[in-house]
Amino acid sequence: MLIPQFSLRWMFGLTTVCAVIFTILAAGLRGNSWAVGVSVGLLALVVMLSIHAGLFALTWSFAAVSGPLARAAKPEGRSPFRDDLPGGPPPPAHETPDTAIILDD
């Protein structure tokens, strides 16, 4: 479906929230100090969310462009614990040394 369906409840709720926000903004323009503070806080929130959305879009577009290029250039990964490594498998981590190490004062 091309047109999203909104219920009347959501539309009335959105209209009410917008009415409250614009009433606070109007009170701030009339000089109420509490409304000026709330308006500045709302403006800061809008600016912060806009910057976040812009940086997310920039990062997403960079990843979309560089992702396929990086995957094409990488060789297939291998485990370092496979037996067919050059030089043989690595020694076990729990192996004890052949000679004892004695520390004297």
DSSP 38-94: HHHHHHHHHHHHHHHHHHHHHHHHHHHHHHHHHHHHSPPP--TT-TTSTT-SPPPTT
pLDDT > 80? residue 14: yes
Residue 74 has a pLDDT of 58
What per-residue confidence (pLDDT) applies to 97?
61
Residue 39: which domain range? 34-59
Q: What is the pLDDT of residues 45-100, one digit of tens each?
A: 999 999 999 999 999 999 888 877 666 655 566 666 665 656 665 566 665 666 66
pLDDT computed for residue 4 by the predictor = 75
Residue 50 placed within a domain: yes
Q: Is residue 98 part of a domain?
A: no
Domain count along the chain? 1
